Amino acid sequence: MARKKLIAGNWKMNCLLEEGTQLAKGIAAQVKQNKFDCDFLICPPFTLLGFVKKCLRGTKIALGAQDVHFAEKGAHTGDISPLMLTDLGCSYAIIGHSERRVDHFESNELIQKKAVAAHKAGLNTVICIGETGAERDEGKTIKVCQDEIFGSVPDDATAKNTVIAYEPIWAIGTGKTPTAADVEEVHAAIRKALAKKLGKATANKMRILYGGSVKPSNAAELLALPDVDGALIGGASLKVEDFIGIAKNACSK
Ligand code: PGA
């Protein structure tokens, strides 16, 4: 079964109201104007979710958050629950981004718990995995990624409610990317781990995105790889022409 590509923008901690709404409107207009053979997802900071949702009206662009708490509600100062996200029109949450694993000490166990709660509330998840530069130099890339799949992906994961994002940490925001052959090797190994955990049928249908310095000039090569089913884009998702340029180069009809 062909997996439809997903072009996902992770705005991280960027954009104030004016800039964020202009960006969302610009992307929405371009998605309407062009014919793309892919799904789109935009993940602005929490503060902009409600505003961006309005800008995306009339398009099929999905809205996602960059994190979510596992509890339904209660005494968790500063956190956001899955139901708060669905209430705002979100259909996705990114979980386990390396910036959260590192900055907020998030473990595989916590990430899995968040994913279960998100799925229960009807959210789809983008579960992020990836090795550090040191792990790569030691030849541990595949082991690290497979361990993160076994540890972070919940048993209730399906090809519909879960997307995996492989993001080598050393490639995020650095302008460096692995070779196409390296990316394909890791993605194939991730799919193998998914098959072991969830069964072959689910693994074959589940989308595995590549993330880390994706830009219009490298998107076509990376997204043409057999096991690469889209991209999670940070820096280049903050400019309409770059984000749309990636889709144009990799997913034009
Ligand atoms: P980048 O970030 O595209 O800026 O490298 C990707 C990500 O962290 O999701």
DSSP string, 195-209: HHHH-HHHHHHSEEE
HSE-CB at 122 with a 13 A cutoff on CA atoms is 9
Residue 165's DSSP bridge partners are: 128, 209
The two three-digit tokens of residue 139, written as one number: 């030849």
Query: Cα(218)–Cα(82) distance, rounded to whole angstroms?
Result: 34
Q: Is 175 in the pocket of ligand 1 (CB under 6 A)?
A: no
Q: What is the pLDDT along the chain (253 residues), one digit of tens a residue?
A: 589 999 999 999 999 999 999 999 999 999 999 999 999 999 999 999 999 999 999 999 999 999 999 999 999 999 999 999 999 999 999 999 999 999 999 999 999 999 999 999 999 999 999 999 999 999 999 999 999 999 999 999 999 999 999 999 999 999 999 999 999 999 999 999 999 999 999 999 999 999 999 999 999 999 999 999 999 999 999 999 999 999 999 998 8
232 Cβ below 6 A of ligand 1: yes
Output the CA torsion sign for 190, 193, 197, 199.
Answer: positive
CA distance 170 to 182: 14
Of 60, 40, 11, 65, residue with least CA distance to 236: 11
Catalytic residues: 97, 167
pLDDT reported for residue 1: 57
Q: Whose CA is nearest to atom 3 of ligand 1?
A: 234
Q: How far is CA 148 from CA 56, 192, 222, in A?
A: 33, 13, 22
Are 14 and 229 in contact by the 8 Å Cβ rule? The answer is: no
Verify whether ligand 1 is closer than 6 Å to residue 213 (CB atom).
Answer: yes
CA distance 248 to 253: 9
Q: Which atom of ligand 1 is nearest to the CA of 214?
A: 3
Name the closest-CA residue to atom 1, ligand 1.
234
- pTM for the whole structure: 0.98
195: tokens are 């098959």
Q: What is the pLDDT of residue 171?
A: 98
Is 43 exposed, middle or buried, given 0-12, 13-18 or 19+ CB atoms closer than 10 A? buried
